[in-house]
Amino acid sequence: MTQTQTITKGISQEVEEISEQIITWRRYLHANPEASLKEYKTAAYIKQELDKLNVPYRSIGETGVLAEIQGGQGSGKTILLRADIDALELNDDKNVSYKSQNQGLNHACGHDGHTASLLGAVKVLKDNQANFKGTIRFAFQQAEEIGAGARIFVDEGALENVDTVFGIHLDSSVEVGKLVSVSGATNASCDIIKIQIQGKSTHIASPHLGSSALLTAVSIINEAQKLVAANVDPTENALIGFGVLNSGTRYNIVPNQATIEGTLRAFSFESRQKLLDALENLAKATAQLQGTQVEIDIYDAAAPLINDSSYAQFGAQVAAGIVGAQNVIQQKEKSFGADDFADFLAVAPGVYARVGTRNLDNEATHFAHHHNQFDIDERSLLLAAQYHINYALTFLENE
């Protein structure tokens, strides 16, 4: 793959010309956030804007939207561009005109920016429809925050005959003006674990007459911390952590019930499965030893997100054409945060890139994602839109 010679010329100017519209889209979405699988008004807004652009679309699930533009130069390859659209259950504590109007909901991960940037890409690509060959699909995906939306798109055929997928995440840890395209694993898998333990109550002074669900829970939590070292190559990273332990009703009663909830994260499919098996065996063996019973529920929220190396290199080349090679990051620390874009990558090769949003002179843009004051330098929206456009056109132009 090589950088396009002609078709992306002038794209930067076209994006700049609609910069106010992209920012308007982002601010409307930021002020009107909706939770995962409840993005009804968000989906309606996206459809309204697609109608204005005369771009056909269809619904995916109840709140996802899949749009498509077919190039005027004939059939060719197919690429899917993705933006997630859901918000977080979190107060918005910023003092800005576009502050969330929905109490307890906040676009504190940048999905409003993802959506606005992809709408900007739709606008420019529609205007250039006659100049390219092939098909571009646009996935406005619901429920990324709960690891449910991408698989809805996959199950409903949105990735049929797709040659590659491309996604972007805004990144407050990266300076605005820089683009990121990294090979290999960039985000961990996410399995949400719930273990319910049934024991037998008795007086705390006669523990031998009962079986403590609490003791089993604590034993599982403690022993689980050793599983990574025992099962994963020390050159890899993985973790098992628990954030919930509920048990007991009174200080002098051996509890007959306990519930623990946690998560397992890994950067390879092999390590993930090995740890899941080990954790299940540990829980069952501990319960048997202590005379209790366990019921294990594991929710597959996301697979490891692993960028194809050739597409990541291609993404870096495209990025260099936008911001210069000196502003392209190809090595970045992996994140234990998960993203269900991994479900797209399991179907078609591609890359999940990042766009810096941190303005070194504006501390309001320094907050981490999922913080109640999270905000961005909105210049990043234009770079994100251009990255979508240039990546798609360059891919479709090259054999």
Active-site residue set: 86, 144
| Helix, coil or strand: residue 88 | strand
Amino acid of residue 347 = V
Amino acid of residue 138 = F
Both structure tokens of 173: 């840890």
Pinpoint the alpha helices (H) of 35-148.
Answer: 40-52, 111-127
Separation of CA 89 from chain center: 16
| Residue 14 CB neighbours (<10 A) | 17
Q: Which of 180, 189, 278, 169 is nearest to 237 (CA)?
A: 189
Amino acid of residue 395 = F
| Residue 263 CB neighbours (<10 A) | 20
Q: Which of 61, 387, 152 is nearest to 395 (CA)?
A: 387
Q: What is each CA distance from 275 to 228, 251, 294, 339, in whole angstroms? A: 7, 34, 18, 20
| Helix, coil or strand: residue 329 | strand
Q: What is each CA distance from 80 to 4, 76, 352, in whole angstroms? A: 18, 13, 12
From first CA to last CA, the distance across the chain in angstroms is 8
From CA 58, how far away is CA 50, in angstroms rounded? 11
Phi-psi region of 110 (alpha: psi -120 to 50; beta: other; left: phi over 0): left
Q: How many CA atoms lie within 13 A of 347 on its CB side?
A: 23
- What is the crossing angle of helices 111-127 and 379-397, to 10°? 50
| Residue 281 CB neighbours (<10 A) | 11
Kindly tell me the sign of the dihedral angle through the C-alpha atoms of 397, 162, 117, 170.
negative
Both structure tokens of 47: 């459809």
